[in-house]
Amino acid sequence: MSPTPQERLLQARHSLLGLSIGDALGKRLFLDLAFRAERRLPASPWTFTDDTRMASAIVTNLQEHHHIHQDQLAVAFAADFMAQPERGYGAVAHFILHQMAQGTPWQQATTSVYGGEGSKGNGGAMRAGPVGAFFFDDLDHCAHQARLSAQVTHAHPDGQAGAIAAALTAAVITQAKRAALAVELDDAWKQIIARTPEGETREGLKRAQALGTAAPAVAAAELGSGIGVLSSDTTPFALWFALHHHHQGFESALWTLFGALPSPDSDNDTIAAIVGSIVALADPDSIPEFWFQAVEKTPHTAHI
């Protein structure tokens, strides 16, 4: 039987919760390396960044429309930005979202950067986990909806590719969870790569598949840890990690991830947000109660 909209929404909320925790801890732990080295948690509350705010807007969009409504998503993104611009939005996002808030159509705003090509950044991927959780049962439709979610801010196909690949990974994990089956890695990579547009991100996914089992720090060095804030140097490692470590449980997987990321120059909150949004879908009950209580809440995660 096809899942109800309520079941889909609950899965999207679980993904958003994992995303918010990864985002908040990824930001805090790398402000103080001693916390990471000692696996010592910072004091609560753990506040999240623009990664979670934009993902929460997507979940609201799905709740209201049961699909990505791009015009309304653009309005929500711009309004959230204007309300709290200090949340960590990047310079390009500042420029695009400020234009939208001033009334520029999103189709025009997104092509006003990088010579009209649009952004290849990792912002589409960072918020795509809930899309995959919602549309998990139809991978082609999932890829389409993920593209729509990214297009609002990322006109470049490679920026959209990161969102598509991240959503597909979340969908594959959700399928396996619902069927009580283990994820078949080779098949998962095949399904994800086949639906990801040609470009640098897709090539990175192919390298991730070929890498197989490796030490996470080695994988981060090989695939990239977000230092360029691009989809291509962020998404492949995040998805490799999620596919290879989702079975650990949420807490163990995130500590393993934090130990693997090489430096404060990595885009730690975004990588942890992507990983958290996917790993949470494998076993939402493995999220520690203290972590749930400590992280700042969105309207969708306060009462899961």
* Domains with residue ranges and CATH for the chain: 5-67+124-139+161-294 (1.10.4080.10)
* Mean per-residue pLDDT, 220-239: 96
The whole-number pLDDT of residue 28 equals 86
The residues near 169 (Cβ < 8 Å, ≥ 6 apart) are 132, 188, 192, 239, 242, 243, 278
For residue 184 the two structure tokens come to 């078949």
Terminal CA-CA length for the chain: 23
The whole-number pLDDT of residue 33 equals 64
Residues 282-295 have pLDDT tens digits of 999 999 999 999 99
Q: What is the pTM of this model?
A: 0.97
The whole-number pLDDT of residue 140 equals 98
Element spanning 56, H or E: helix 50-65
* Mean per-residue pLDDT, 213-230: 95
Length of the chain: 304
Residues 3-37 have pLDDT tens digits of 999 999 999 999 999 999 999 999 887 766 667 77
The whole-number pLDDT of residue 265 equals 72
d(CA 136, CA 270): 22
Contact predicate 271/230, CB 8 Å:
no
Left, alpha or beta for 165 (phi > 0: left; psi -120 to 50: alpha)? alpha
Contact predicate 88/49, CB 8 Å:
yes
Residues 153-162 have pLDDT tens digits of 999 999 999 9
Task: Please report the beta strands in 62-102, taking only residues with DSSP state E, as ranges in sequence order.
Answer: none
* Mean per-residue pLDDT, 62-90: 97
The whole-number pLDDT of residue 1 equals 75
The whole-number pLDDT of residue 34 equals 65
Query: 3-class secondary structure for 217-280?
Result: HHHHHHHCCCCCCECCCCHHHHHHHHHHHHHHCHHHHHHHHHHHCCCCCCCHHHHHHHHHHHHH
The whole-number pLDDT of residue 38 equals 78
What's the pLDDT band for 238 if we cut at 50, 70, 90?
Answer: very high
Q: For 31, which DSSP code? A: T
Residues 180-205 have pLDDT tens digits of 999 999 999 999 999 999 999 999 99
What's the pLDDT band for 264 if we cut at 50, 70, 90?
Answer: low
Residues 105-143 have pLDDT tens digits of 999 999 999 999 999 999 999 999 999 999 999 999 999
The whole-number pLDDT of residue 29 equals 78
What's the pLDDT band for 262 if we cut at 50, 70, 90?
Answer: low
Angstrom CA distances, 192 to 6, 135, 212, 223, stand at 26, 14, 15, 17
